[in-house]
Amino acid sequence: MGLKFFNTLTRKKEDFVPIAEGEVKLYTCGPTVYDYAHIGNFRAYMFEDLLKRYLVYKGYKVTHVMNLTDVDDKTIKASNEQKISLAEYTEKYKKAFFEDIDALNIDRADVYPAATEHIDEMVELVKKLLDKGYAYRANGDIYYKISKFPEYGKLSHMDMSKLKSGARISSDEYDKEAVSDFALWKAWDEDDGDVFWETELGKGRPGWHIECSAMSSKYLGDHFDIHCGGVDNIFPHHENEIAQSEAANDEKFVNYWLHNEHLIVEGRKMSKSFGNFYTLRDLMEKGYPGIAVRYLLLSTHYRMQLNFTMDGLEAAKGALERLWDFKGRVNDVTGTRDNPEASELIEKAKKQFTESLDDDLNISPAMAAVFDFVRDINRLISEGNISQNDAQKVLETIDGFDSVLGLMKRPESDVDSEIEELIQKRNDARKSKDFATADRIRDDLFERGIVLEDTPQGTKWKKKL
Ligand code: AMP
Ligand code: ZN
């Protein structure tokens, strides 16, 4: 059994076959940098991180592009309200986005093209659509004529019979009720303030959808392997991307469309407009490390809704502690007699891990494989029935799993060396029988949430999370 993905285009699980052997070109819709992203948004980026890391684990060379939407209805409105330039306004949220993905241990994409730096490419694409008769002008704006593209609706599987011919919508976001010709280019109006480009299309700015068609072609080619986003992107955004790109280039745009389900809170999509959202910062201020949020977002299959609760986040912390403690225990193994059971457990865990993730990234049995492995190896350690040689192989296996899961990175690793130094000082104090100093160091560390444990192998420390 090989790698399979559920393709939104066909509504089927399909074998994954890349266009070029051994290589994957991946485009994922990125943030609109008008505010801090909420953890619902990060669910999308987390699923994409899992997808990409797993493709790399399978040996593919992945080229990953994620756009930054730094001009659209929302960014313009917000920057005008604050009376600062669009660039100054969005810069703050671009920076915050990168801080957040680092805290979540999300691997960086190869390119993060910003929309405002690709206006020329968008203009070229709109010109092409005008030339080919897929676009028309109306009141200075330019619209895509969806009746000219008979396959319109193939991704969202929409019934196009209700289509009101010639109806137009200029806003970037709209729902299925408003299916109609959509804006490729918006002529400047007063609400845009100083946000406009003087181009061959006139004075104005691009619509949202044209951005992803233009930038994906530039960095990945006109036809590439995988395109992702949340299910809310299926219509209209991705449907429109297909219409634009396939009409302009006369070839299939994307082979596999993968969409994640929503993160929900009390039965409702987490969203800015419902006011039921947490940013990563909110949760970190409550004392949850980014990696615990990563665990939570990662551990439910991407095509299932994930109900966010604080209890779930607490449980994520506990599970992480178990993983981190395990690695510490394996590191301390000193036995010399190899145990064939250890090798069998390694093979079993690897097999279940890969077979599960091969099946459309089925994360739950993959995580179960990891935790069963932890339990079984812990048993061998408790029995003293494992060698240092076995332990080394266990560590390599865990590192291999973690290249996909990214959970072993303990937070605040930069403070670790400081803690090690304090432990050294305490040990020196104990050697010279200065127990007052030794106890003070121990108490100070305890205050900071660090627990010390003196073992035959030396002093160990861990965080009280
Ligand atoms: P936006 O900045 O609104 O364009 O959203 C960025 C990404 O987050 C898109 O792929 C959305 O589909 C996704 N997204 C938005 N809200 C949620 C949610 N509650 N759960 C999961 N993904 C979401
Ligand atoms: Zn997009």
Which residue CA neighbors atom 14 of ligand 1 most closely? Answer: 41
Which residue CA neighbors atom 15 of ligand 1 most closely? Answer: 41
pLDDT digits (tens, 9 = 90+) for 445-461: 888 788 888 888 888 88
* Residue 114 bridge partners (DSSP): 68
Give me the residue label for tokens 């301390």: 332
Ligand 1 mean position, distance from CA 40 (Å): 6
Mean predicted confidence (pLDDT) in 73-91? 94
Give residue 166's pLDDT: 72
Ligand 1 mean position, distance from CA 267 (Å): 16
pTM: 0.89
178 pLDDT band (50/70/90 cuts)?
confident
pLDDT digits (tens, 9 = 90+) for 107-143: 999 999 999 999 999 999 999 999 999 999 998 999 9
Ligand 1 mean position, distance from CA 184 (Å): 22
Contact predicate 109/127, CB 8 Å: no
Judge if the beta carbon of residue 238 lies within 6 A of ligand 1: no
Ligand 2 mean position, distance from CA 306 (Å): 22
Higher pLDDT, 444 or 438: 438
Judge if the beta carbon of residue 43 lies within 6 A of ligand 1: yes
Ligand 1 mean position, distance from CA 61 (Å): 26
Judge if the beta carbon of residue 31 lies within 6 A of ligand 1: yes
Ligand 1 mean position, distance from CA 46 (Å): 11
pLDDT digits (tens, 9 = 90+) for 141-162: 999 999 999 999 999 998 777 6
Judge if the beta carbon of residue 30 lies within 6 A of ligand 1: no
Low-confidence winner among 314-318, 344-348, 425-429 (lowest mean pLDDT): 425-429
Ligand 2 mean position, distance from CA 71 (Å): 13
Q: How far apart are CA 444 and CA 447, in angstroms?
A: 5
pLDDT digits (tens, 9 = 90+) for 271-286: 988 889 999 999 999 9
Question: Is the confidence at residue 207, as pLDDT, over 50?
Answer: yes
359 pLDDT band (50/70/90 cuts)?
very high
Surrounding residues of ion ligand 2, Cβ less than 5 A: 29, 212
Give residue 332's pLDDT: 84
pLDDT digits (tens, 9 = 90+) for 34-55: 999 999 999 999 999 999 999 9
Which residues are CB-contacts of 160 (< 8 A; sequence separation ≥ 6)?
Answer: 152, 153, 179
- Residues of 317-355 as b/e, b for ≥16 C-beta within 10 angstroms? bebbbebbebbebbeebebeeebeebeebbeebeebbbe
362 pLDDT band (50/70/90 cuts)?
very high
Give residue 154's pLDDT: 95
Contact predicate 453/459, CB 8 Å: yes
419 pLDDT band (50/70/90 cuts)?
confident
Nearest ligand for residue 207 CA: 2
Nearest ligand for residue 263 CA: 1
Which residue CA neighbors atom 11 of ligand 1 most closely? Answer: 230
* Residue 14 bridge partners (DSSP): 5
Higher pLDDT, 73 or 371: 371
164 pLDDT band (50/70/90 cuts)?
low
Nearest ligand for residue 27 CA: 2
Residue to probe by mutation, ligand 1, list 69, 97, 232, most atoms within 8 Å of CB: 232
Give residue 163's pLDDT: 67
Give residue 414's pLDDT: 44
Ligand 2 mean position, distance from CA 31 (Å): 9
Judge if the beta carbon of residue 290 lies within 6 A of ligand 1: no
Contact predicate 300/306, CB 8 Å: yes
